[in-house]
Amino acid sequence: MTHLALPEADAATAASVKDWLARFAACVRAVDYAAARPFWHPDIVIFGTYQELVRGLPAWTATQWDNVWPRTADFTFDLDNTAIMASPDGAMVVAITPWTSTGFHLDGTPFDRPGRATLVLQKQPDGRWLGVHSHMSLQRGVPQDSHGKRAVKAR
């Protein structure tokens, strides 16, 4: 049986998606919801550590972002190990990427909090990427609860 090659994104598309990932990760590190919101479609559909299925950016912010961003630190995508696939017309991409962060035990001691994500982005008429789906999950064995207490910079 012959299989088609994976639909890997071209270099320019991959670079633009990695830039998007890096800029979004900076919003997570800063706990800046206002700066992060424009990265995502208002009707996004997601899965995450705290929710099985969430529809809409306000619900995602309330159920996932509020439960994770202020309670963790140092979030970053591992761009060197990120795979990016693109639709033939380049209008949609899928980024498959590991990420790292720092969690905090109840006594305040830090622990490594790695995970992985699958993100679907859609190219907008103005050329920017907009996230339409996110599935982020912790690696097996990583504690789900983190007890950091960082302030939200902007809602």
Whether the CB-CB separation of 150 and 70 falls below 8 Å is answered with yes
**What pLDDT shows up at residue 72?**
97
Residue 123: predicted pLDDT: 97
Strands 92-104 and 40-47 turn out to be unpaired
pLDDT of residue 3: 83
Cβ atoms of 131 and 44 closer than 8 Å: yes
**pLDDT at position 57:** 95
Domain 11-138 has CATH 2.160.10.10: no
Per-residue pLDDT, 2:
82
Spatial separation of the C-alpha atoms in residues 105 and 37, rounded to whole Å: 28
Q: Counting Cβ atoms within 10 Å, is residue 32 exposed (0-12), middle (13-18) or buried (19+)?
A: middle
Residue 128 CA from chain centroid, whole number: 16
Say what the pLDDT of residue 100 is: 98
Instruction: Report which residue type is found at 78.
Output: D
For residue 12, the model assigns a pLDDT of 96
- The DSSP result for 33-66, as a single string, is HHHHGGGEEEEEEEE-SS-S-EESHHHHIIIIIH
Match 């960082």 to its residue by tokens. 150
CA gap 42, 38 in Å, rounded: 9
- Which pTM does this prediction carry? 0.94
The whole-number pLDDT of residue 52 equals 79
Low-confidence ranges of the chain (pLDDT < 70): 49-51
Kindly list the domain boundaries of the chain, sorted by start residue.
11-138
